[in-house]
Structure 1
Amino acid sequence: MRRRRIIARLIGIQRVLVKYGLDDVIKQTHLFRPLRFLFYLFPRRRTSSAPLGERIRLALEELGPIFVKFGQVISTRRDLLPREIADELAKLQDEVPPFPGEIAVAILNEAYGKPVDEVFERFDIEPFAAASIAQVHTAQLPNGAEVIVKLLRPGVQDLIERDLEVLRMFAGLADRYWEHGKRLRPLELVDEYEHTIIDELDLMREAANTAQLKRNFAGSDMLYVPDIYWDFCRPEVLVQERIYGIPISDMDALREAGTNIQVLAENGVEIFFTQVFRHNFFHADMHPGNIFVIATDPEKPKYAAVDFGIIGTLSPSDQRYLAENFLAFFDRDYHRIAKLHLDSGWVPEGTRIDQLETAVRTVCEPIFNKPLAEISFAQVLMRLFRVAQRFNVEIQPQMILLHKTLFNIEGLGRELYPQLDLWKTAHPVLKKWMSDRLGPAAMLDDLRENLPQLRDAMRELPAAIRYLADRAESGSSDRAQQTAEIRKIRGELKSLHRQRMWLTAAVVFVSAAAVVFTILAVH
């Protein structure tokens, strides 16, 4: 049954690609060679003569939520796409076709167990916005508060589960036929993406994420997070404060309001690094459709963010490892970068540190002393991918969300203020974080936090010493067993070190962008 469902979906994808004249991407890509038979078994003719950008957008919309999410990520990279393509993909942010308002009313009636007009003072049946997973309506609560009501699309979970099966099949093909498949671990990437997108289907989780971010930025003059109305929230329904602001992508409106664009852009970078390092809780779906600007004071513009279905976190070791690498980048300390990666298990044993240092310098040196307009982070990542290939790096799926967010940050930065130096703006934030984490006060805090565990460990230490002494006297610990145990411990330590890897996960998005580039090249 599962195999038949996958084949049926593949046929559906094939038909959509042919319908919009995009099937050449399959025919000319080596990875998809096992699937080419579909185009001979089910030949069809192109039925759309629309411009290429519109055809790509329509195909992504028709293929469903997972493909729409991909288009949303790519749409922020106007530096990498022709303008007409980027303009069309940008419509994926808030112009996905809505489902009828009558269905929304039926969903609400079932969720609340009573008619919608008994829950809200006013419910606007016409959709306010529609996205790939959910749809938004405006409403008014009995207390007069203006709110937005977010509803999951009917049947969206079944659609996502079906497409995840297809992605697993593609990942299996990559693992089997692609020369870099074993190293990039595509099956793990699909598992990570599944965890992320399934989380989006629980709107109570999103409400909790929103409340946490609001606490994190309470009193902030840079970011506003809307209130949640918990009494009206359900797993399939989210009700939150309505935000009135200028869409971040509407540059004409921002200029008309007299917004200080440079301050806005620099604040955006600071907000991101504050979320990642100070709060360890970052908004990982920062495409333009989710970000607005409150320009009441044009010289001190304030961001307003929505849609917190995807949130990223890092372990303390990931945070520190990432910060140390960033600071080494800022200081152009390429030897330090190479040593950090060798110490962490980022590259295989036996790698020469001078060779890795030279490779990293070649990739990173063009970044510095240039405004963002003159460099492309995506191009740097592509070159890092080549370094990764050379040194047989294994990709780490757990860092995808962070790099997806960085990917979006650069796109927004270019749109807002091309002269922004992202690295220079972020440097002070990271310096302060490292000082706070490694200073005397932080050491005392860590000691106080870990004192109970340390006390318990000290109590157990004498018994552990006696156990080792008894084993030594009895001779029960033979050399072979010791060797096996040592190898096991080394393997576990190596695995733990590799958890801190971060850089090469970004190649997932560069690889994804390559799909679009293939389409463009064909046409």
Structure 2
Amino acid sequence: MKLLAVRRLLRIQRVVIRYRLDDLMFALPLPWWLKITRFAMPWRWLPRSRQELNRGARLRLALQDLGPIFIKFGQILSTRRDLLPEDIADELMLLQDRVPPFDPKQAMALIEQQLGAKISDVFSRFDVEPLASASVAQVHAARLKTGEEVVVKVIRPGLKSVIGQDLAWLFLLARQAERLSADARLLHPVDVVADYERTIYDELDLLREAANSSQLRRNFEDSDLLYVPQVYWDWCRPKVLVMERIYGVQVTDMAALADQRTDMKLLAERGVEIFFTQVFRDSFFHADMHPGNIFVSTVAPWSPRYIAIDCGIVGSLTPEDQDYLARNLFAFFKRDYRRVAQLHIDSGWVPAETKLNEFEAAIRTVCEPIFEKPLKDISFGQVLMRLFQTARRFNMEVQPQLVLLQKTLLNIEGLGRQLYPDLDLWSTAQPFLERWMRERVSPKSLFQNVQSQVEQLPHLANMTRDLLERMSQPHRKDPPPPWEQRRDRWGLRLVGGVLLVGGTVTAVSGIALDSVQAWPAWLMLGSGFYLVVRR
């Protein structure tokens, strides 16, 4: 462990002591032998200098002092008002866009360094006071020489070293957890931390955020659901982003939304539709949708339109993951627990030797009490937690590629219930998912799949030919002796038999599923037949 990381741990300990965060832990229903440990902590005997602060303020200030990784954790928590006491949720809301800014002179110097020009040469007006400030960057309002109103986003200086130290401790804890706990190994904590490491460092590259914003804007071009501001690429750099300034109401400003008579039910439903559209139609979703990044247009409040900013973190899913999630959701809400269990086994999330009946019974035991409630009262977060607790018995592994999706779904659910408490997440999402499933087997979709498979045929044919040549003639200039040729011939015939069987099964499965993915199977059949009958 590096010396800087050790110093970082000591700083974390000082912050915990300064804001007496151990009070939050000892307020929980702990075993008696843990509660008595507080008497062994020397700082608990010292005078309290911050008694005027409530617990929510102390937690917010502590996370704020500890830096971007901890601030982001607080931002995620702030969206789950159904899981937090009101005083803590109110304080954590302030972390979304009211983090104390850094020195504007530093910001201006960094902007000029990145742009290679004076601010006065690029902007006809530049507001020194920040418009907003968050964990990773702060934003200044400005006007380009060409007249467009813009915002200038600039990265906070000195973040990489702090983030590196925090990640070093996270990796250490993850490795120790994997080494000491079988349950922790199912969570793949090292993979999760590695995935978060890539995400947080990607967020420090504003060119990547600009590209993400452009893609999301293109995906929702001319849409009544979502508007994404325009990026001005001529003035974008790795640490500076210039984009169109938007005017709207922050999505959590309930009073302003009520004053303009916003249709809150439609607003909540459109948020869910946007999420499922991004996940299933585009496989490109905004994965940092906390309320500080979401606004509502002031135009046509009876048909509200969202405005999204800060696209530094985005996620995507493979077609297999999309199909798995859609089928699981359908089976889950139809209470088809056997189908849910089978999908988990087929996807490899639980071992293939898992007994289907036992797994089905365990899922039913967890889910039936939940479904006794109206659908609008069912929390997806609660469902996820209970399902995981059950699946641990069957060695279910958490998929790191879905961590962003789960976090975003929890954000959307928390926001939707805040806007419209009676939101029925499932009835809102069901029509979209049914339409998406129908489109997947439509003639147009099948034709596109056929076309993509046909385009791959020349490449597959070349690969097959090269493989067969290498297997049949490993050394062209020095052929093997006859006994090795006979042995190789029988080995090739064995390979050919495997290809014949595998190709037949794949072709039949593809045809049975009305899938054009059976095309590569015909190549396997031809290759196997050639290897079996060749002399």
> What TM-score does the superposition give when structure 1 sets the normalisation length?
0.85
Tell me what 1:475 maps to.
Answer: 487
- Give yes or no for contact 2:17–2:43 (8 Å, CA) kept in 1: no
Q: How far off is 1:253 after superposition?
A: 0.9
SS in 2 for 1:276: helix
Q: What are the superposed Cα offsets for residues 326-371 of structure 1, whole Å, 9 maximum, x if unpaired?
A: 2222332221111111112211232111121122223334555855
Cα distance in 2 between the residues matched to 1:240 and 1:209: 13
Tell me what 1:493 maps to.
Answer: none
Tell me what 1:514 maps to.
Answer: none
Tell me what 2:50 maps to.
Answer: 48
- Give yes or no for contact 1:372–1:420 (8 Å, CA) kept in 2: no
Tell me what 2:228 maps to.
Answer: 225
Cα distance in 2 between the residues matched to 1:226 and 1:390: 47
Is the aligned partner of 1:5 residue 2:4? yes
Unaligned runs of 5+ in 2: 475-483, 503-535
Cα distance in 1 between the residues matched to 2:429 and 2:404: 19
When residues 96 and 44 of structure 1 are mapped into structure 2, their CA distance, relative to the original with a 3 A threshold, is farther
Cα distance in 2 between the residues matched to 1:258 and 1:395: 43
Tell me what 1:404 maps to.
Answer: 407
Cα distance in 1 between the residues matched to 2:41 and 2:175: 23
Partner amino acid, structure 2, of 1:356: F
Is the aligned partner of 1:355 residue 2:325? no
Q: What are the superposed Cα offsets for residues 435-466 of structure 1, whole Å, 9 maximum, x if unpaired?
A: 11222321211111121322443466577668
- Give yes or no for contact 1:126–1:137 (8 Å, CA) kept in 2: yes
Tell me what 1:343 maps to.
Answer: 346
Q: What are the superposed Cα offsets for residues 18-42 of structure 1, whole Å, 9 maximum, x if unpaired?
A: 1111136789999xx9xx9xx9799
Question: Larger RCO: Structure 1 or Structure 2 (Cα < 8 Å, ≥ 6 residues apart)?
Answer: 1
Tell me what 1:176 maps to.
Answer: 179
Cα distance in 1 between the residues matched to 2:228 and 2:364: 40
Cα distance in 1 between the residues matched to 2:151 and 2:362: 50
SS in 2 for 1:246: strand
Partner amino acid, structure 1, of 2:89: A
Mapping of residues 53-68 of structure 1, within 5 Å: 53-68=56-71
Cα distance in 2 between the residues matched to 1:442 and 1:376: 34
Tell me what 1:212 maps to.
Answer: 215
Is the aligned partner of 1:381 residue 2:389? no
Tell me what 1:318 maps to.
Answer: 321
When residues 442 and 400 of structure 1 are mapped into structure 2, their CA distance, relative to the original with a 3 A threshold, is same
SS in 2 for 1:475: helix
- Give yes or no for contact 1:14–1:23 (8 Å, CA) kept in 2: no
- Give yes or no for contact 2:376–2:425 (8 Å, CA) kept in 1: no
Cα distance in 1 between the residues matched to 2:117 and 2:461: 60
Partner amino acid, structure 1, of 2:276: F
Mapping of residues 122-521 of structure 1, within 5 Å: 122-366=125-369, 368=371, 374-458=377-461, 461=464, 474-476=486-488
Count of equivalent residues: 477
Q: How far off is 1:15 after superposition?
A: 0.6
Tell me what 2:15 maps to.
Answer: 16
When residues 158 and 463 of structure 1 are mapped into structure 2, their CA distance, relative to the original with a 3 A threshold, is closer
Q: How far off is 1:242 after superposition?
A: 0.8
Q: How far off is 1:176 after superposition?
A: 2.9
Tell me what 1:107 maps to.
Answer: 110
Cα distance in 1 between the residues matched to 2:147 and 2:345: 59
Cα distance in 1 between the residues matched to 2:81 and 2:372: 22
Unaligned runs of 5+ in 1: 491-523
Cα distance in 1 between the residues matched to 2:463 and 2:295: 55
SS in 2 for 1:307: coil
- Give yes or no for contact 1:372–1:419 (8 Å, CA) kept in 2: no
Cα distance in 2 between the residues matched to 1:322 and 1:253: 36
- Give yes or no for contact 1:101–1:126 (8 Å, CA) kept in 2: yes
- Give yes or no for contact 2:346–2:352 (8 Å, CA) kept in 1: no
Partner amino acid, structure 1, of 2:50: S
- Give yes or no for contact 1:372–1:414 (8 Å, CA) kept in 2: no
Q: How far off is 1:426 after superposition?
A: 0.6
Rg comparison, structure with higher value: 2
